[in-house]
Copies of this chain bind each other. A is one copy, B any other.
Amino acid sequence: MKPSAPPPSERSRVRRAEDRGHYDRETIHAIVDAAYLCHVSFVDQRGPLCLPTAAWRVDDHVLIHGSNGSQMMKSLAQGTPACLAITHLDGLVMARSAFSHSMNFRSVVVHGAFEPVPDADKEEMMHRLMDHLAPGRRLEARAPDRNELAATTVLRLPLFEAAAKIRAWGPKDKEEDLSWPVWAGVLPLAQVRQTPRAEACIPADIPTYVQAWAEQQPGPA
């Protein structure tokens, strides 16, 4: 696979195993859309931090949110330099030689600075998070009220300085190892949706979108 777009910046260029790098919008969006969470790096008085948080995409931004009181939200809202990563692990790659073992994965790494979503857009952005988690549910759940929205910081990071990295194939052994008498292949891993578990007091009727969620098993793009 050849990258169909050039790296947007030098620091976004995939340098190890360059053939796994992709910079086109479609590939990057697909990897972000397959995720429910990301890891965000930034630096505060504690040193470098790497924290997991919920993530969703709206157009050319990846969004995160949290309480106004969160130190992470406060630091990132100021536009402090940040890096965001999303990684899907798709398998363990068993080569003939220990050295050539690898993993299949799809990742996106984004450099940049977050900016706060303006108050006027916050409600719509939170609806979009719900659409990402459980399409259809925003019509039924109790909508956020003014106080809840006011207590929430929503931040967005442009998907501009972004690079995807993908490995999606079997082992690549050295020529001289190919005859080594050992099983070789891929041990595939997938994030699988399991049967929804209702709260004890909930009536037995499962709404269509909950049923649909469990029946739909998104895989690698």
Contacts and interface: CB of A to CB of B under 8 A. Distances in A.
Contacts of A189: 36, 191-194
A207 B126 CA distance: 49
Contacts of A180: 141-142
A78 interface: no
Interface string A68-107: 0111000000000111110101001011111101010101
B198 A183 contact: yes
Contacts of A39: 39, 41, 50, 85, 87
B182 A198 contact: no
Interface in A19-57: 36-37, 39-43, 46-52, 54
B187 A213 contact: yes
8 contacts: A51-B85, A52-B85, A98-B148, A99-B144, A99-B148, A170-B197, A189-B191, A192-B192
B183 A188 contact: no
Contacts of A107: 52
Interface of A: 11, 15-16, 36-37, 39-43, 46-52, 54, 66-67, 69-71, 81-85, 87, 89, 92, 94-99, 101, 103, 105, 107, 109, 111, 126, 130, 133-134, 137-138, 140-145, 148, 152, 170-171, 177-178, 180-199, 201-202, 205-207, 210, 213-214
Nearest to A105: B52
Contact of A142 (B97, B193, B194): B97
B98 A138 contact: yes
Contact of A89 (B36, B137, B205): B36
Contacts of A201: 178
A188 B193 contact: yes
Contacts of A207: 183
